Amino acid sequence: MRNFLYLLIILSSFNASSQNISYVWGMHFPALIDPTEVCCFDYDNDGTLDDGLGDFLVTLQAQSTSNFQDGINQGILDNSIVKAFDWQDLDVLQTNQSFSFQFLDAQINNPNITLQQRMDGLAELLIPTGQVDNLFTANHNLGILNATANQVSGLLNLQFDAQQGLVPLTLNTVKLNATLIENPIGKEEGIYTENLTATNPTIIGGMKIGGILPSDEFLGVLDTQYRTCTCAGVDPTQPLITTTIFFGTLIVSCAQSGLTPENCTAGSFCASVNDFCSNAIGIGSTFDIDENNDGVNDAYSVALRYGVSATSDGIIYSDGFE
């Protein structure tokens, strides 16, 4: 009787089914997969698509051992990144439907499934309740989805130091566009994105996502991670990365000097701290968006592609009722 009451509580407190929950099997940086393909939205109203962060990551990756796309791919397969969309009242066959949906944190109940199985809709997700943020306002017309959100956390994840793992960042002024498919043949029933073919990986997500990444959000991650580098003499109690505005340009610099990265493991993230500080002054010129409209570029435009699939009929439950 007690288990039956728990089941009733679960069903009433979380009105979701596997058919309106989609799993994110791919998060792709278009610039890192194919630098010639510019994606996804125009944020500075100059008539061209913007991806300032992608341009910076291409340059940074060429100068280091980092591989930002591989970090994301591995994070999805080892389930350190598990995300989902709750489409709520979406009807893929309806015309001109206005509705809202939510980007969710999730857990996976069958963590050892392959990427192909995830793409085929076989992920069994566990959805914690109480998530109230990351809401999109959307319009949908016969499979074509356009949506916006003021602020969303976790759409973008970056890894600078492999030892510290992936860090979710918050994007502002988020835009989303996708062609959605319902119940494709040979796959689990539910909602999928129409995806694209590429070289590496061979299939990339068809959902376009854009946003604005403030410089303090981006540099804050770097500062937090570099401040763990006590092997290089970094004082963890004091900021390493600081910014100032000089003649209309954001200047990035390091506030700590006399660092000794030679005392850190060769090739490690911490061993790069002096190289970062030597080149920090140039980072300010890579920001391409004036988010505050004060004449200073203080943010990156961001472009992402997501691959989304249905979820299995595995249990979706509320917190505390596993």
Residue boundaries of the structural domains of the chain: 2-212+305-310, 220-299
Is residue 152 a contact partner of residue 134, using CB atoms and an 8 Å limit? yes
Task: Reply yes or no on whether the pLDDT at 17 is more than 70.
Answer: no
Is 56 within 8 Å of 300 (Cβ atoms)? yes
pLDDT of residue 3 exceeding 60: no
User: Environment class of residue 236 by beta-carbon count within 10 Å: exposed (0-12), middle (13-18) or buried (19+)?
Assistant: exposed
pLDDT at 67: 80
With cut-offs at 50, 70 and 90, classify the pLDDT of residue 235: very high
pLDDT at 97: 93
Residues of the chain with pLDDT > 70, as a percent, come to: 88
CB 96 within 8 A of CB 141: yes
Q: Taking residues 3-7, what's their average pLDDT?
A: 34
